[in-house]
Structure 1
Amino acid sequence: MKRLSPISLCVALSVFSVQGWAETVVPMKGQSSQQTQTDITDCHNIAASQSASAAPPPSGGRLKGAAVGAAAGAAGAQVRGRQHDEFYDRVDDDTKQDYRQNRAKETAAAGAVVGGSRQRQERRAQQKTTAATTSTAYTSCLQGKGYQVNP
């Protein structure tokens, strides 16, 4: 069996390393290429299990936004109606109800848009945090096993 030189081992490991991490792994304690590959796989599995146990991505943002928007719209319509008591009292209850429902629908649509936007922002931030945590766990694991990890 032909042994790889340390330089070719580093190149091979950087090319065939764990998906998503473009790092060079240098054995510092004379580990064999087989041991190095085993350690890389172990550290990848540890990092992946940590990211899998992370909080689930945020959901329900549009629905929450729509509910808040609808409540705000109905309340706002009621307040605006009360500002004009002399006219508001003359209007029948069905018309008042229609007005409140129309305002609630309009603001619910806006709330759904805002809620969806916030949800996407939270999801992106969580993905960045998870990726950074996973990469840190992977690198720390390899360093703990006696490797130098270069970006």
Structure 2
Amino acid sequence: MNRFVVPAAAVCLSAFCLSAIAQQVTPLKGQSPETTQQDIAACQAQAQAQAGIATAGTPNAGGRARGAAAGAAAGAAVAGARGRQHEEVYDRMDDDTKQAYRQNQAKDAAAAGMVVGGSRQRQERREDRANAPQQDAAVSSAYANCMQQRGYQVTP
């Protein structure tokens, strides 16, 4: 089963990349089909790298989790600082109560951080969608230039 997953993923990725570029490539120097496929893959990777597009993973993923982690850390730090501000009361509390207070503060801050992180993630995705036409044009141009340098005719 595993031996089919990697080729299937490669076919899907190359189909996505080819559909994004959607240009016809004609070898001008008698390149073999294998060489042509290698050149196409190399030029696609180079074009995406030049345009600053990540080829692996989900772009703008994990905003909520990052926000929650940052919020929890901030909440625990604030709880500790508040405890040190009111040392006379804080020192009289037992350790379980102090721990519960820090956990509650961290939990509340994590929830707020998750909301902020999700909001930032949505904003980044909106910006990515707005910039997509310029990125597509840049990738297409870089791909065509790379293929032409390798001895291919590229037509839209």
TM-score when normalising by structure 2: 0.54
What is the CA–CA distance in structure 2 between the aligned matches of 1:106 and 1:80, rounded to whole Å?
15
Quick one: which of 20, 28, 45 aligns to 2:22?
45
The percent identity for this pair of structures is 54
AA partner of residue 114 (structure 1): V
What is the CA–CA distance in structure 1 between the aligned matches of 2:100 and 2:78, rounded to whole Å?
14
Q: Where do 5+ consecutive residues of structure 1 fail to align?
A: 1-41, 146-151
Q: Where do 5+ consecutive residues of structure 2 fail to align?
A: 1-18, 24-43, 144-152
What is the CA–CA distance in structure 1 between the aligned matches of 2:128 and 2:112, rounded to whole Å?
24
AA partner of residue 122 (structure 1): E
Q: CA deviation at 1:57?
A: 1.6
> Which structure has the larger Rg?
1
Q: Which residue of 1 aligns with 2:146?
A: none
Q: CA deviation at 1:114?
A: 0.3
What is the CA–CA distance in structure 2 between the aligned matches of 1:92 and 1:67, rounded to whole Å?
27
Q: Deviations over 1:13-34 (max 9, x none)?
A: xxxxxxxxxxxxxxxxxxxxxx
Question: Does the CA contact (< 8 Å) of 1:57 and 1:126 recur in 2?
Answer: no
Larger fraction in helix: 2
Quick one: which of 129, 132, 140 aligns to 1:130?
132
AA partner of residue 123 (structure 1): R
Residues 129 and 88 (structure 1 numbering): CA distance in 2 closer, same or farther, change over 3 Å?
Answer: same
What is the CA–CA distance in structure 1 between the aligned matches of 2:134 and 2:124, rounded to whole Å?
15
Q: CA deviation at 1:129?
A: 1.7
Q: Which residue of 2 aligns with 1:30?
A: none
Q: Which residue of 2 aligns with 1:108?
A: 110
Q: Deviations over 1:14-65 (max 9, x none)?
A: xxxxxxxxxxxxxxxxxxxxxxxxxxxx99514xx667x9324210000000
TM-score when normalising by structure 1: 0.56
SS at match of 2:22: helix
What is the CA–CA distance in structure 2 between the aligned matches of 1:43 and 1:89, rounded to whole Å?
63
Q: CA deviation at 1:130?
A: 2.1
What is the CA–CA distance in structure 1 between the aligned matches of 2:116 and 2:80, rounded to whole Å?
23
> For residues 61-140 of structure 1, what are the structure 2 equivalents within 5 Å?
61-135=63-137
SS at match of 1:59: coil
Runs of 4+ in 1 over 4 A off after TM superposition: 135-141
- CA-atom RMSD in angstroms: 3.4
